[in-house]
Structure 1
Amino acid sequence: MKTSQLERMAPLFRNVHAIGKKMRPFSDYVWMCEVDEQKGLAVGKTYRNAKQAPAFMHSIAEVERKKVEVEMSASKFISIMVDGSTDSSVMEEELLYVRSSRAGKVKVQFVGIQALEKADAEHVTDAICSMMSAVSGSEDEWKEKLVACATDGAAVMTGSKTGVKPIEQSYIKEEFLSAGHETPDAHQSRRYKTKSPDTERVNASQRNQAQGFCKWATDGATLKFCCFMHDTLTHLGNLSVTLQQSCLTVADVDSCLTSTQAVICKYKSRPGPMLSKVLDSTSYEGVRLSHSDTSQMMANKDKLLDKLSESMDNRFSDVGSGILSNTKIVSFQQWPNEYNEDFGDSEVERLIDHFRPVLISAGVDVDLIPDQWTIVKSYLYKEPTTLERLTWSEANRMLRGSCPDILDLLALVLCMPASTADCERGFNVMKIVKSDWRSSLKCETLSDLLMMHLSSPSIKDFDPSPAVQVWHASSLRSRRPDLMENRAAAVVEEVEESEGSVCSSSFEDSEPSVYAL
């Protein structure tokens, strides 16, 4: 492609990229090109209709898919995160992310979204295989590297007989992780449109409602229970924020979950910071509180704490048991303060036994891993203070030459996902892109839009050159970025030639007139 043509197409691709990033309709592309022309940019006259915008969008998305393919090809192990939801057209969509770890760095990338004819295990599995094959060299390549699959707790995913779990475990090398989210039941609360009991011109019904609410709000037991809920929900909110982190590991989940459970269980014997302020007080913010029996409140408090602890144990039961309990070796927070020659040895042995087939297929010498684990521990414990701020990326840079096999095992553990929060964020974007006004978007176009919005660089950092080259090479016929300009030049040339021939013939036909005087 000529440099002049590339420079002319670059502003057009930038406009399409900005449309995708800002989730604007494709019709904006036309007037954006007109504005560029008024600014004096050389955008030409070709490919300036709204129908070209999806084609340019597809080329930009293909560049990002190529990046995913390159990352998957360079990684020895991968995991997938999948979740399903309905869009604005009430069509079941399956969204897929891939997680990999290379040189100690964890990367989560969007793969695609695909509509399902039927939301059963067979169609979900076919959609997963189709999307993964589109960004992989071959179907067998990504299956050989797959070590874990994270989903929500839906029966179609985790069913032991007709779910996706038994189908994918035929080639997956890890337990099927149900590490997603659970949507609580929606409880509708009655909204009282009330006014102060002292307000004038208030009817009797509203006055009674306001008086009842005021009496309930100034009750000492009610306020104390609200303060207790504030303390408890603060820690549960922090836990939720931690679980939503993109590169979170299973070991981090176990550590954060254990600390949260310890704090809320401690509230059974001692009050939290908010409850301590009002426990022995008879007023709050200058309002006098009515005295009431708090024994029922204390009993309800203990029941709630027991139920919360039980629910967390049931929801995250697989984190602290089975093969997942051995992943704590990747969390420096769980390493002992002083060197322990036996730390992690049993966990490493169990991980080797469980992942032996996938490790061998990736070219890892499993017999050398135990000795290399001892070398890693002794080397990192030379400077104990560095463990607090050490990362596995730095450890890989220091020890890749001497301990490659144990670092590959740790990379396998790091690529195991702890939640499907990325899928939930992807669905939030999908529902903004495919709104009620754009419910007729094709699945391919929706996938391109999501790929560009979630994965492509920002508007400031976007380089359109690779996308332009992909677009130019994707056509069976040669692209003609100068088509309209060449046509206009040909018309002008034809007009000039016709005018020149007319003038010439007129001159030849005219003869000088001689008048006799």
Structure 2
Amino acid sequence: MVTGMTKAISIRFADLGDEVKFTEIANFRNWPMEELKDYGCDHVDAVTNRFKDTLTQQGVHVDDLHDQWSLLKTLVQNKYGNKLNTVKWTHVWYCFSDMGIQDILTVMDLLRTLPATSVVNEASFNQMKMTKTNRRQRLSNKHLDDCMVIQLESTDILNFDPTEAINKWMTSSKQPRRLTYARSTCNKNSEQQDEDIMIQEVTQDEEPRNTTVAESDPETADDCDYETDCDSDNEQTEDFNDRMVKELQ
């Protein structure tokens, strides 16, 4: 089980091997006593390249790190000799902090310091959840990594220069980009016809319909209904009288 986990972690973080390796100079147990003179120069270069902006913001003179590293090794070797396994960095700070090696000691503190919080990890997980939603369950790990890198490592939109991206977009296509592309006239005519038909339908729906007398004036409608009832009653009375006269005759 441990072997499988180690193998999986090695494959997953293969590109971070060099960045993890240069932190070994912060442990005195890794210092070789016989070849101490040339030890750690590559590590200091890697640290400088990786944390150059951070070190510069803290006032570290990056150009002096190599000289201070050589001086630090000489001072430690002369004072402690073969007892490097028992040396602690607090003692080194106490003994040599005033001998012109403050910059390299700051670098050692940086390598020995773990993050105080897990905010970066939590922010990464939150960004991953927002990227791979329920509608994007089929998103592959490669594409998810690309999306995460864009979201977490790209510069702020206010400082982003799109020139490089535009040039890549212009030259990456097998066929030249059609920057002056426009829809054909036939499509425009058909769209205009559709709009005219919709306008006619809306106009027909909005035309006022003929109102009856009852809808225009309720009182007049009541009068008309009363007159109609009277006329029908008179006609019935006349018919009844005519029938009675005929019977009497």
Shorter-chain TM band:
0.3 to 0.5
Higher relative contact order (CA 8 A, sep 6+): 1
Structure with the largest fraction of helix: 2
Structure with the largest fraction of strand: 1
Normalising by structure 2, what TM-score?
Answer: 0.41
Q: Which has the larger radius of gyration?
A: 2
